Structure 1
Amino acid sequence: MTDRLFDDYAVRATAVAEGSRYAACLVVTPRARHGYPVYYAIAENRSFRERELAEQASAKALAAIIGLEGDGTPIFPDDYTGFDDALPPA
């Protein structure tokens, strides 16, 4: 698992089992005050047959975060899709 620390939150990349497949997720947990972790699915319409692939996708998403909102919601670059697929030419 991969972690990043921000001022008020710790963010962890992980994979969550959903039946026989895995979803890539980020878990945002408050650091200095009490609270519950919040799970954010990465590329919700994509799942993985292998846990390792889902963990790799969530680690890439964690690295792409440019900051957090005040409530801990991850902020990504405007053109970030969560997919490694190349976009077709416009």
Structure 2
Amino acid sequence: MSLRHLRALVALSDLKLVARVSEALGVTQPSVSKQIAELEKIVGEPVVTRDRNRLYLTPIGTRLAEHGAWWRKRTNRRGHWAYFALSESWLSSSVPK
């Protein structure tokens, strides 16, 4: 799991719309959708549910976004958010299946 996956999920948790997330992150909408799809492949299950216009976080998506927001708060103070990435070992030990 890389920084871009986590940043997209945290932004999605805050903004709810892919268009807003893409604008906030300075990437295209297809890039945001690809990041979420890649994250779902890494996690092995959906992190969002979709309806016509919005995406909603699933329980695992909410948990990952909470961890991402926690890390963002702590690393922003030191300017290291850009270097943060979750390891797969953390994911397997911290997120209930």
| TM-score, reference length from structure 1 | 0.36
Structure with the bigger RCO (C-alpha within 8 Å, sep 6+) is 2
Q: Is the radius of gyration larger for structure 1 or structure 2?
A: 1
Greater fraction of residues in strand? 1
| TM-score, reference length from structure 2 | 0.34
